[in-house]
Amino acid sequence: MGAVNAHCAVLGDPIAHSLSPVLHRAGYAAVGLDWEYDAVRVDEAGLGSFLTGLDPTWRGLSLTMPLKRRAMALAAGTTARARLAGAANTLVLDDGVVVLADNTDLPGAVAAVRERYAGPVTAGTVLGGGATAASTGLALCELGARTVTLMVRSPERAQEAVAAIARHPSGPRVEVRSLAGDPVSGEVVVSTIPAAAQDAELVARCVEAPVLFEVLYDPWPTPLAAAPRAGVLVGGLDLLVHQAALQFELFTGVAAPLEAMRTAGLEALAQRGAVG
C-alpha cells in the first residue's frame, strides 16, 4: 500500500473508551484501504475550531457525547433523519469541509433490534432523555411503535427528545414518566442511561420486557444487561457495529465489511474484560 490518503476520527468527551477506531480500522483492513481513524477528545465548545482546522485529507467524523446536537449547526447540509432526531452522529467531509450531517444511530438501532428480534413492536420505553434517547425512540417508531415512553429524572431536560420523537411521520404518542418507580411498558425497553444509574429496583422493573436494548458497551455487561431474563438482549456493540457500517459507507463509498467489523469489536471487548 502507498501513503495514507484519508483521515477519519471519532470525537467526543470522554472518548478513550470508544471502540469506533477498532471497528473502522478493521473495516479498512478488510477492504484494502490505507486510511487512518483515530479517537480525538473534543468538547462542545471546541468542536467548531476543530472542524475549521482540518486539511483536505479528512473524509469523515463520528460524534459521541456531548457533540451530537451542536454538530447540526456546523454542516452545509443535513439529512432528513438527522433533522428528525435534531442530532447528528456523523459528519461527512469533502476537501476538509463538512458537507453533510447525518444520523446513523437511528437506522443502526433499527437494524440492531431486527437482527435479534422479529416480533411486533407496538410500544416501547426509553430510559433517559438525551440525544441517543431521541434517536432510539425514533427507531422504535420505525419498528412500529405507536406509543413511546421516556423515563427520566428531570422531565424538563427531556423536552428536545420528546419533540424529536413526536415529529415522526407516524404521529406517535410520547409519554414522560419518572425513572424512579414508574412501570416500563411495551415490547422493547431501551436503556441510554449510565450503568451507575441502574440500581436493583430499576433492573427488577425491566427484566420482564420481551426485548432489552442496552445501548452501552463499556462497561459491559451493565446491571440491566447482566440480569437473568427470558427475553432478547440487544447490546451496545450491536448498535455500534450497525451505525458504524453506515458511517463507513458514507465516508469511503465502499460497502462495509460488517462481520469483520463486528469480530474486531467482540475481540476488543473480550480483551478489555480479560484485563479488567
* CB-neighbour burial class of residue 26 (10 A; exposed 0-12, middle 13-18, buried 19+): buried
Model pLDDT for residues 201-247, shown as the tens digit of each residue: 999 999 999 999 999 999 999 999 999 999 999 999 999 999 999 99
Residue 57 lies in a domain: yes
* Cβ–Cβ under 8 Å, residues 172 and 199: no
Residue 165 lies in a domain: yes
**Coil, strand or helix: which one is 207?**
coil
Same domain? For 64 and 157 the reply is no
**Alpha-carbon distance 13 to 45, whole Å?**
11
Same domain? For 122 and 187 the reply is yes
Q: How many domains does the chain have?
A: 2
Specify whether 68 is catalytic: yes
Same domain? For 255 and 221 the reply is no
pLDDT of 276 strictly over 60: no
> Is the sign of the CA dihedral 89, 94, 95, 97 positive or negative?
negative
Domain assignment of residue 52, given as a range:
7-103+244-275
Model pLDDT for residues 36-75, shown as the tens digit of each residue: 999 999 999 999 999 999 999 999 999 999 999 999 999 9
pLDDT of 275 strictly over 70: no
Same domain? For 116 and 203 the reply is yes
The whole-number pLDDT of residue 60 equals 98
State how far Cα 180 lies from the chain centre: 24
pLDDT of 274 strictly over 80: no
CATH number at residue 127: 3.40.50.720
Of 96, 107, 112, residue with least CA distance to 61? 96
CATH number at residue 20: 3.40.50.10860
The whole-number average pLDDT for the span 143-156 is 96
Percent of the chain surpassing pLDDT 70: 97
Residue 25 lies in a domain: yes
Same domain? For 33 and 147 the reply is no
Residue 85 lies in a domain: yes
7-12 sheet: strands from edge to edge: 36-41, 7-12, 58-63, 90-94, 97-102
* CB-neighbour burial class of residue 234 (10 A; exposed 0-12, middle 13-18, buried 19+): buried
The whole-number pLDDT of residue 272 equals 84
pTM higher than 0.75: yes
Model pLDDT for residues 123-145, shown as the tens digit of each residue: 999 999 999 999 999 999 999 99
Catalytic annotation, pick one of 68, 168, 242, 262: 68
pLDDT of 175 strictly over 50: yes
Same domain? For 128 and 186 the reply is yes
**Alpha-carbon distance 220 to 240, whole Å?**
14
Same domain? For 110 and 230 the reply is yes
